[in-house]
């Protein structure tokens, strides 16, 4: 047996020993049915520490598939002018709720709701508008076992769409920072254009003024 085989055999023996300890009966002559071992204790503790179930709910009365800048609103076609919609919902910055037991927490979503589609870079695979609600159901790159462990540590239900995999929407405070994260690219673009216009204004401002104002 070479060194590599000896090393592999040593690792396997260690794993087998740890598993034996993990499943070793802790209570000889147990009084309750089932295997009372370290695994049993971990499972019991895990059940007790599981966070409260979290349900993510969209508000169908807020938002539209296409948000226009100047066009007329047509709810039948899923098109709404962002200003008209802003007035209709009285400037509401929230869209939907997160239900946790008896608690209802609102979802901050001004970018997903009001940003005109011409400036919105996100789109679903079916061509629809990709919003914070879609982002919330996007799977995190975590295994099922690791998802459960992280959920216990942060005391948050990470699997909001109940598919067995942790989602972005389950992360702490996602209802506040998820939408601004989606809106960041557009915000940076607009800020960059405004900054560029301000810096170059001395070169083009007087020309525009002479063209626009009568002499």
Task: Report the distance separating Cα 197 and Cα 127, nearest Å.
Answer: 33
**Where residue 133 falls among pLDDT bands split at 50, 70, 90?**
very high
- What is the reported pTM? 0.69
Question: What does the block give as tokens for 158?
Answer: 């990470």
Helix (H) or strand (E) holding 99: strand 94-100
**Where residue 103 falls among pLDDT bands split at 50, 70, 90?**
confident
Task: Report the distance separating Cα 114 and Cα 8, nearest Å.
Answer: 58
Angle at 207 between CA 192 and CA 197, to 5 degrees: 5
pLDDT tens digits for range 153-202: 777 888 888 887 889 998 989 999 999 999 999 999 889 988 888 888 78
Residue in the block written with tokens 């003024």: 209
3-state SS of the chain: helix, strand, coil percent to 5?
50, 15, 35
Question: What does the block give as tokens for 181?
Answer: 């994260």
pLDDT > 70 fraction of the chain, expressed in percent and rounded = 74
pLDDT tens digits for range 42-84: 566 666 666 678 888 898 888 888 898 887 787 777 889 888 8
Average pLDDT score over residue span 109-124:
92
Task: Report the distance separating Cα 102 and Cα 87, nearest Å.
Answer: 31
């Amino acid at each position: 047996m070479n060194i590599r085989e000896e090393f592999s055999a040593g690792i396997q023996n260690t794993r087998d020993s740890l598993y034996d300890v993990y499943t070793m009966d802790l209570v000889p002559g147990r009084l309750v049915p089932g295997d009372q071992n370290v695994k049993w204790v971990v499972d019991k503790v895990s059940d007790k520490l599981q966070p409260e179930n979290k349900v993510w709910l969209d508000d169908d009365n807020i938002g539209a598939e296409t948000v226009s800048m100047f066009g007329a609103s047509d709810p039948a076609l899923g098109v709404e002018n962002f200003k008209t919609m802003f007035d209709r919902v009285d400037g509401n910055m929230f869209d939907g709720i997160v239900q946790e037991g008896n608690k209802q927490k609102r979802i901050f979503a001004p970018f997903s709701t009001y940003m005109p589609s011409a400036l919105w870079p996100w789109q679903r695979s079916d061509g629809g508008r990709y919003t914070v609600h879609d982002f919330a159901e996007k799977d995190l790159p975590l295994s099922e076992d690791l998802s459960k462990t992280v959920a216990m540590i942060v005391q948050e239900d990470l699997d909001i769409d109940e598919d067995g995999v942790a989602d972005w929407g389950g992360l702490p405070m996602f209802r506040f920072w998820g939408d601004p994260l989606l809106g960041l690219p557009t915000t940076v673009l607009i800020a960059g254009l405004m900054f560029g216009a301000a810096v170059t204004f001395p070169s083009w401002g007087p020309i525009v003024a002479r063209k626009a104002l009568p002499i």
